[in-house]
């Protein structure tokens, strides 16, 4: 479609009015990059300030202690770190053991996955006890539901009209005629 010069000028003017204040892709990318850089730098500075404060506090505390007390404090910090790591490793190991127990009990993962945080601790015996209780509860609940369903299904009466189960499916025109005559079905 071709426009006259006057129409093209009007279109260009409308486009200029509508795009005023909008950024080109390059300008937008520059602004986004600038903002991201500013926020990252701010986060780094805050982290450094926090660490600096912590280091200064540790230094002041250690400066007031004797060499023996500093050594004891460092050993205590290392032991605490080792204990934390050991608890993490035990929790991971117990998670694997719990999954093995649950899968060997043939409990579907979707039925126990939401309970894993509740079942697992860093203590192997406590985790095993929790998992075994869960398995027992799950199996008892499943058994009770199955029993109730069977009980309700056994109360459903047999279909009427064919008490002996001798009903045969009609196979041809003659069978339909016979069924129609037996059922007193009439053509209207």
Cα separations in angstroms, 152 against 86, 131, 138, 157, 159: 52, 31, 21, 11, 16
Q: Which two tokens stand for residue 42?
A: 């701010």
Q: Say how many CA atoms lie within 13 Å of 79 toward its Cβ.
A: 6
Q: Say how many CA atoms lie within 13 Å of 157 toward its Cβ.
A: 5
pLDDT of residue 24: 79
Q: What are phi and psi of 151, to 5 degrees?
A: -65, -45
In the numeric block, the tokens 């998670």 are attached to 95
C-beta pairs of 41-49 under 8 Å, 24+ apart in sequence = none
The number of residues making up the chain comes to 188
pLDDT of residue 84: 94
The pTM of this model reads 0.46
pLDDT of residue 165: 52
Q: Say how many CA atoms lie within 13 Å of 187 toward its Cβ.
A: 2
pLDDT of residue 126: 93
In the numeric block, the tokens 């910090």 are attached to 77
Do 135 and 103 contact (CB within 8 A), yes or no? no
Q: Which two tokens stand for residue 59?
A: 């230094």
**Digitized pLDDT (tens) for each residue of the chain, 188 residues in all:** 788 888 888 888 888 777 777 777 888 888 889 888 888 888 888 888 999 898 888 788 777 777 788 888 889 999 999 999 999 999 999 999 999 999 898 888 888 888 888 899 889 999 999 999 999 999 999 999 999 988 888 877 766 665 555 555 656 666 667 766 666 555 54
CB atoms within 10 A of CB 69: 12
Do 134 and 111 contact (CB within 8 A), yes or no? no
pLDDT of residue 134: 93
Calpha distance 104→100 (Å, rounded): 6
């Amino acid at each position: 479609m071709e426009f006259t010069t006057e129409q093209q000028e009007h279109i260009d003017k409308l486009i200029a009015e509508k795009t005023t204040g909008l950024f080109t892709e390059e300008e937008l990318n520059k602004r986004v990059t600038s903002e991201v850089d500013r926020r990252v730098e701010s986060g780094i500075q805050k982290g450094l300030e926090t660490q600096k404060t912590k280091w200064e506090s540790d230094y002041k505390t250690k400066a007031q202690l004797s060499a023996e007390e500093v050594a004891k404090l460092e050993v205590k910090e290392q032991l605490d770190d080792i204990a934390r790591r050991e608890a993490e490793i035990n929790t991971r190991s117990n998670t694997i053991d719990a999954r093995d127990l649950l899968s060997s009990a043939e409990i579907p993962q979707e039925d126990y996955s939401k309970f894993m945080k509740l079942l697992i601790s860093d203590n192997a015996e406590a985790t095993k006890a929790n998992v075994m209780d869960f398995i027992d509860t799950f199996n008892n609940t499943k058994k009770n539901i199955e029993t109730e369903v069977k009980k309700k299904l056994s109360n459903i009466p047999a279909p009427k009209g064919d008490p002996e189960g001798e009903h045969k499916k009609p196979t041809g025109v003659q069978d339909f005629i016979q069924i129609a005559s037996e059922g007193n079905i009439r053509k209207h």
